[in-house]
Amino acid sequence: MIDPEKADELIGQPMLAAGEQQVGTISDVLRDDRNNWPTWAVVRLADSQRQVPVPLADAEPADAGVRVPYPTERIGAAPSMAAEGHLHADEQTEAYRHYGLTPPPAESPGEIDPHIGPHLERWIT
């Protein structure tokens, strides 16, 4: 798990896919507007220079950067994002679906997993 207090230190570090292959460099960390929790890394892809969002929920520090459980192909096929450093609601929904995650509802009485923050909540029904 990434330490939320040190999340900004990820900027400039390599992003490693599930097979330890470097897919790009982290250019920004996007935080939840409600609680400042780091939820997405903005990754500048090495092969195309596109910027794509990558969820930080299951990211782990690694010797050579930050490792996520997604294959290189999935990260490379992620929807591009604008350079403004913010995911709009429709972009966020598209990114969740791309990574096989369920977007959380706008408001829910569910319980929040404190380890991953509200944007990647695991809702208990």
Contacting residues for 54 by C-beta, under 8 A, at least 6 apart: 15, 40, 41, 42, 43, 68, 70, 75, 78, 99
Task: Pick the closest to residue 27 from 1, 8, 47 (CA basis).
Answer: 8
Domains by residue range for the chain, with CATH: 4-120 (3.90.50.10)
Per-residue model confidence as pLDDT tens for the chain (125 residues):
788 898 999 999 999 999 889 999 999 999 987 788 899 999 999 988 899 999 998 999 998 899 999 999 999 999 998 766 778 888 888 999 999 998 766 654 444 444 444 444 333 22
User: pTM of the prediction?
Assistant: 0.80
Measured between alpha carbons, how far is residue 3 from residues 23, 39, 41, 59, 102 in Å?
A: 22, 11, 13, 10, 23
